């Protein structure tokens, strides 16, 4: 039997903050008490917050370790633990690593073999108990590509696959309804000349016409047959949301307008937005801000997207900026709500019987500081 006692903590429960102690036994929470119940052998939290481990549903951060420079690929078996270390240090105890499939011009990560290398490295590291956080897979399917459905099928036997998102980054669609924004974003990344960018846009639009619809049908059917939750990416209009609802989507991932977020919520979808959007004060693509949706009570889940530390930072920022969001409701955005959206019933809140995934946070400074992290009662950071 392994016990850990946390004393003198501000325990962030689902609906309140309790000053008290917490007892963990064999990886599970077994007792929550207000006041000072446990003293001997306890870990004094010095009045820091003790929150549930953060749950990240969508992060592209692994790619930064796998491809640290243009045309440079780091060994997958080294990239995964490096990514994991930063994830855990950010207070994230459950992470859905996003792997892209669907190859577009100049994109050498989304090639199926590259994504499978990462999936294999994650699986092997998990099996060897070499990772701090619990890693699951989120397959991001770029629908307007010839190879998307074929490559998606190769992941279906992976036991870590727990979420699939439907994406379409075609210029003129969804996130890039304004083609000028597409030119600005991809032009900056690729360095293409204006004539080359014009030709590239035409090529992407032609691929959308040929592949988006049949790929969507195929991927949706794959997910339904295996009961894998679906997310719809960058919905912008009521029609997009209605299509998502018809396909059985349960997560609205980064809706770009208030209209889409409102429709998603009305149909029971969990609305997910980016934590960097909160921290930076708006969308880098010029779409609706996450804070605006929070103020309208249209925000359910935050995702760190490309900056792991932004998840905790954004949650505390919302508790400071939005009058209707207190600390417990802010923490639900990054713990309980994503757990429920991903059908993870054993974690996401401090309650007796659930996993002891815990984070000690010092939040008196401008940016919250992660002091320590435990996953299933074992300290990992």
Two tokens, residue 368: 């919250």
- Please give the pLDDT value at position 182: 67
- Please give the pLDDT value at position 145: 87
Report the distance separating Cα 307 and Cα 211, nearest Å.
31
Q: In the predicted model, is pLDDT for residue 311 greater than 80?
A: yes
Residues for the chain: how many in total? 381
Q: Say if residues 278 and 330 touch (Cβ distance below 8 Å).
A: no
Q: Which residue has the higher pLDDT, 200 or 248?
A: 248
Q: In the predicted model, is pLDDT for residue 304 greater than 70?
A: yes
- Please give the pLDDT value at position 346: 98
**Each residue of 246-286: pLDDT tens digit?**
999 999 999 999 999 999 999 999 999 999 999 999 887 67
- Please give the pLDDT value at position 175: 65
Domain boundaries defined on the chain: 53-345
pTM, two decimals, is: 0.91
Contacts for 217 with CB less than 8 Å, ≥ 6 apart: none
Determine the topology of domain 53-345 in CATH: TIM Barrel (3.20.20)
Considering only CA atoms, which of 98, 132, 133, 162 is closest in space to residue 303?
98
- Please give the pLDDT value at position 180: 66
Q: In the predicted model, is pLDDT for residue 188 greater than 60?
A: no
Report the distance separating Cα 317 and Cα 310, nearest Å.
10
């Amino acid at each position: 039997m392994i016990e850990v006692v946390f004393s003198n903590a501000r325990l962030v429960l689902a609906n309140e903050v309790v000053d008290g102690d917490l007892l963990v036994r064999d990886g599970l929470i077994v007792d929550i008490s207000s006041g000072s119940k446990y003293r001997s052998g306890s870990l004094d939290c010095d009045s820091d917050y003790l929150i549930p481990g953060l749950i990240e549903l969508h992060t592209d951060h692994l790619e930064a370790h796998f491809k640290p420079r243009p045309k440079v690929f780091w060994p997958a078996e080294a990239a995964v633990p490096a990514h994991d270390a930063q994830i855990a240090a950010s207070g994230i105890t459950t992470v859905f690593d996003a792997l892209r499939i669907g190859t577009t011009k100049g994109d050498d990560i989304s090639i199926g073999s590259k994504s499978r290398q990462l999936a294999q490295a994650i699986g092997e590291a998990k099996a060897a108990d070499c990772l701090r956080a619990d890693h699951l897979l989120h397959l991001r399917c770029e629908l307007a590509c010839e190879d998307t459905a074929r490559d998606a099928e190769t992941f279906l036997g992976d036991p870590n696959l727990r979420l699939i998102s439907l994406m379409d980054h075609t210029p003129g669609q969804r996130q890039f309804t304004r083609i000028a924004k597409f030119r600005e974003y991809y032009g900056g990344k690729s360095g293409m000349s204006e004539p080359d960018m014009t030709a590239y846009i035409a090529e992407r639009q032609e691929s959308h016409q040929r592949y988006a619809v049949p790929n969507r049908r195929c991927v949706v059917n794959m997910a339904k047959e295996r009961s894998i939750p679906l997310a719809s990416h960058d919905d912008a209009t009521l029609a997009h949301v209605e299509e998502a609802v018809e396909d059985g989507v349960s997560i609205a991932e980064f809706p770009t307008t208030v209209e889409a977020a409102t429709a998603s919520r009305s149909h029971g979808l969990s609305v997910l937005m980016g934590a960097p959007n909160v921290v930076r004060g708006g969308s880098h693509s010029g779409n609706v801000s996450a804070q605006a949706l929070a103020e309208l009570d249209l925000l359910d889940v935050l995702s760190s997207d490309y900056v792991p530390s932004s998840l905790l930072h954004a949650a505390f920022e919302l508790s400071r900026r939005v009058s209707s969001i207190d600390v417990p409701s802010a923490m639900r955005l990054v713990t309980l709500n994503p757990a429920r959206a991903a059908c993870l019933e054993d974690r996401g809140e401090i309650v007796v019987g659930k996993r002891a995934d815990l984070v000690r946070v010092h939040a008196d400074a401008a940016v919250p500081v992660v002091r320590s992290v435990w996953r299933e009662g074992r300290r990992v950071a």
